[in-house]
Amino acid sequence: MLRHEQDPETAENPAIERVIAELRTPVPVRAEWRAGLARGLATLPPPSAAGPRFVRRWTFRPLTAIAAAVVCAVVGATIATVLLGSGRRSSSAEVLANLTSTMPLPGEHGGQSTVRFVLVAPYASRVSLVGDFNKWNPSAMPMRRSADGRAWLLDVPLPPGRHVYSFVVDGDLAPDPAAPRAGDDDFGVPSSVVLVAGAKT
């Protein structure tokens, strides 16, 4: 089952081979940790094959495709209307907020403005906001579920300027699907950007 495509340059390099041999050394498994893992597994409900809604079955259904296209067109037109109607460029967080609930006007919290972050993720069980404003700490800013259960919201006072952020959805990082992507992603993990009015740059 194991396949090892040996790079000739690596195979003939004793230094690299030494590194590989050292790194392949098994890591001790602490019995206490192993027992904790078993306890953690025991607390979970048994997985069931009857969970097809999570299984990707890529089949093409013409009627479904047409319906999806219509929905996309309507949503796109709505977003465009909001953007054009506001007469300014807005972040996706703001746009979605406008679509789902009222958004507080920029506040006067020591020169900071309140930005409402919104992520539509009806099947998520836990969503938090991470960014340069909270040192990318996933437990610092948990988001709250909207009244209809479809979206996750959080109002954050931010100083004027450019802020890079991402969502943590059930433990996985996810960029804002509609916001501009940050060009300075770390570790290949995509992040998004929100600009708060008043930036001098």
Partner 1 sequence: MTLPASSEVDAGSMSDAALVRRVLDGDARAFTLLVDRHLQPCLRFATRMLGNRHDAEDVTQEALLRAYRALATYDAAGSFRTWLFAILVNRCRTSLLQRSRYVKRVVTDEDAMRAATAADRAASTELRIEIERAVAVLDPDQREAFLLKHVEQLGYDEMAAVTGAGVSALKMRVKRACERLQELLGEVNDVTS
Work out whether 31 is an interface residue with partner 1 (CB under 8 A): no
- Return the residue matching tokens 């259904």: 61
Query: How far is it, in rounded angstroms, from Cα 169 to Cα 127?
Result: 5
**In this chain, which stretch among 8-16, 66-74, 80-88, 155-163 interacts with partner 1, using CB under 8 A?**
8-16
Question: Using the rule CB under 8 A, which residue among 46, 85, 110, 183 binds partner 1?
Answer: 46
Residues 6 or more apart whose Cβ sits within 8 Å of residue 154: 116, 117, 129, 141, 142, 143, 144
Window 172-191: contact mask with partner 1 (x via CB under 8 A): xx------------xxxx--
Q: How many residues does the chain have?
A: 201
Question: Which of 90, 192 has the CB closer to partner 1?
Answer: 192
Q: Is 35 exposed, middle or buried (0-12, 13-18, 19+ CB in 10 A)?
A: exposed
Compute φ and ψ for 49, nearest 5 degrees. Answer: -70, -15
**In this chain, which stretch among 3-11, 63-71, 90-98, 145-153 interacts with partner 1, using CB under 8 A?**
3-11
Q: How far is the CB of 171 from partner 1 (least distance, A)?
A: 7
Q: Going along 63-160, which residue ranges are E strands?
A: 113-120, 127-131, 144-145, 151-158
Neighbours of 9 (CB within 10 A): 8
Q: How far is the CB of 122 from partner 1 (least distance, A)?
A: 17
Which residues contact partner 1 by CB under 8 A? 1-5, 7, 9-10, 13, 15-16, 18-20, 22-24, 26-27, 29-30, 33-34, 36-38, 40-41, 44, 46-52, 54-56, 130, 132, 135-138, 168, 171-173, 186-189
